[in-house]
Structure 1
Amino acid sequence: MNFTVFRKNRYAVAAPALLQLLFLAGVFAVDMRVGRVVSGDVSARAVVFFLFAATIILSVLTTVRMFRLYEREALFSARLAMADSFNSLAESMRVQNEDFLSHIKEIARFCREGRYQDLAGYLDGVSGQISVLNSVLQVDNPVIGALLKAKATEADVRRVRLDINVSTSLRELGGKVLPVARIIGNLIDNALDAVSSLDEQDRVVGFSARRAGPLLRLEVVNRGLIQATPLERVFESGYTTKGEGHSGLGLHIVKNLAEALLGTVKVSSDEAAGTRFIVTLPG
């Protein structure tokens, strides 16, 4: 959430209100100067003037108060999201530490037993996991990097291959980083769920981030197939094909966040290419 927008909006509300007050005062002054009015009319017009002025001032104060409440709510949401990111990172580090010790034990066992061909195959698999982590480490935004590392660990636990390709800088996301992180997290979660019941060779999810001119393009693909008709139904609140334990809110939230950032989200799904979500955001 970009707090600068709230500050600018407060001024955008106050400036027109001030102009309205000045205009109203000018009209009243001209009316008093050139009009032929008796004292009773003057009093009546003065009352009307002050009522209008009070209404404008009250509207401004109410609007500013609303912006302050929105700002506090946004800050609270941002802190919750940051706490979730730190929790995910801590869990990721714990799992990675356990995986490291497990790898050492497996390598030692293969060496003791003289199973060098099996050792070579095992190291190839470990090398693939390291390649994924290297892709994550190249992300220059700490929030997005922590999120992707946590998702890579989750994918590994669920025996899903997660391919990550971030070919652009995400450092300048600024106040948009938390909603963007939530969009990425929800899309990857949805893809992991979609492929979890597929055959092992089809349990593959891809995430990419790149620039297309002034736009940021986020893409998540998987080899699952969406059965909804029309496809846009997946963005409806509460719609899910995953059974119990799923709220059907993940993609609905993605769409709302993308539109709040003045972006778009599109989906395509067919047997040949699988399912693809593309989110396009300005800046």
Structure 2
Amino acid sequence: MNIIIFWYFDRVRAAFEYKSKSNAADLKIELQTQYFDVLTEHQRKTDALWHDMKKHISLMKSLLNDGHQDITSEYIHKLETEMSDKIKIIRTEYPVLSALLTEQKQRAKKADIPFDIHVRLGSELKIEPVDLCVILGNLFDNALDACSLLPPEANKNISTSIGQRNNAVAIVFENTYMPTTKPRIRSGKHGLGLKNVRQAISKYNGQMVISEENNIFKASIVFP
């Protein structure tokens, strides 16, 4: 399961380097097809998990009836750990965007960084999902790098909100950071990443405002 998903996520990253609109459209179709395959496999794994859950519940009942509360508690803890390690699929109206957000959620979890995602998009979107991936992908990479530079005891958090009202789309992306690490974050590939974000936004006459306050980097993007 993990091999299939991460192979697919590698294909999503390729969308960031598309050369033309036609190439992006072809890639989007291919990614959507593969994403549906991932969802099918994920559903199969979920069905298998619930099938096994019946056996787990039966075993725990037997342990409790025999007075083994400590063993039952340990067994429940192991089940919770196993279930929390399962990949959670982020679902939106757009499979390419769903795949990207799912990958980002998994990467943040692996880095032990909370990542809050709120998406409300309609079925009609004037922005190509691949362009949304360029924007969110670069902002997330910068955010993950910024959080990784924070000391272990620091508050680490990444969040994104994507909303739509009629044809207008708004994106708010936030992450914690330390001002002393900012020069490292903005150099090299990070500067190029923000440049790619601005280019994608300009295609739709959108605007981006960046603010930095109380150790929080915030990018507010509006597409009219």
SS class of match (1:173): coil
Return the structure number with greater relative CO, CA threshold 8 A, min gap 6: 2
> Aligned-pair distance for 1:88?
9.1
- How many equivalent residue pairs? 184
Match of 1:182 in 2: 134
Does the C-alpha gap of structure 1 residues 147 and 90 become closer, same or farther in structure 2, counting only changes over 3 Å?
Answer: farther
Match of 2:21 in 1: 74
Amino acid paired to 2:171: L
Preserved contact between residue 217 and residue 280 of structure 1 (Cα < 8 Å) = yes
SS class of match (1:269): strand
Match of 1:260 in 2: 203
Does the C-alpha gap of structure 1 residues 203 and 146 become closer, same or farther in structure 2, counting only changes over 3 Å?
Answer: same
Identity %: 21
Matched residues in 2 for 1:117 and 1:276: separation? 42
> Aligned-pair distance for 1:264?
0.6
Runs of 4+ aligned structure 1 residues displaced above 4 Å come to 80-94, 117-122, 124-127
Aligned match for 1:215, one of 160, 168, 180 = 168
Amino acid paired to 2:191: G
SS class of match (2:125): helix
Preserved contact between residue 164 and residue 206 of structure 1 (Cα < 8 Å) = yes
Amino acid paired to 1:74: K
Matched residues in 2 for 1:124 and 1:213: separation? 42
> Aligned-pair distance for 1:205?
0.8
Match of 1:172 in 2: 124
Match of 1:145 in 2: 98
Preserved contact between residue 35 and residue 96 of structure 2 (Cα < 8 Å) = no
Matched residues in 1 for 2:25 and 2:113: separation? 29
Preserved contact between residue 88 and residue 150 of structure 1 (Cα < 8 Å) = no
1:276 and 2:222 equivalent? no
Amino acid paired to 1:281: F
SS class of match (2:121): coil
Match of 2:189 in 1: 246
SS class of match (1:148): helix
> Aligned-pair distance for 1:226?
4.9
Whose helix proportion is higher, 1 or 2? 1
Gaps of 5+ in 2: 1-18, 57-62
1:123 and 2:65 equivalent? no
**TM-score, normalised via structure 1 length:** 0.51
Matched residues in 1 for 2:38 and 2:184: separation? 29
1:55-94 → structure 2 map (5 Å cutoff): 73-80=20-27
Matched residues in 2 for 1:147 and 1:255: separation? 19
SS class of match (1:203): coil
1:216-231 → structure 2 map (5 Å cutoff): 216-226=169-179
Matched residues in 2 for 1:147 and 1:220: separation? 15
> Aligned-pair distance for 1:206?
0.6
SS class of match (2:88): helix
Gaps of 5+ in 1: 1-71, 229-233, 235-239
> Aligned-pair distance for 1:123?
2.7
**TM-score, normalised via structure 2 length:** 0.62
Select between 156-165 and 76-85 the one with higher mean Cα deviation: 76-85
Larger Cα-atom Rg: 1
Preserved contact between residue 89 and residue 146 of structure 1 (Cα < 8 Å) = no
SS class of match (1:172): coil
Amino acid paired to 2:210: V
> Aligned-pair distance for 1:265?
0.8
Does the C-alpha gap of structure 1 residues 121 and 244 become closer, same or farther in structure 2, counting only changes over 3 Å?
Answer: farther
Amino acid paired to 2:175: N
Match of 2:59 in 1: none
Aligned match for 1:154, one of 107, 116, 119 = 107
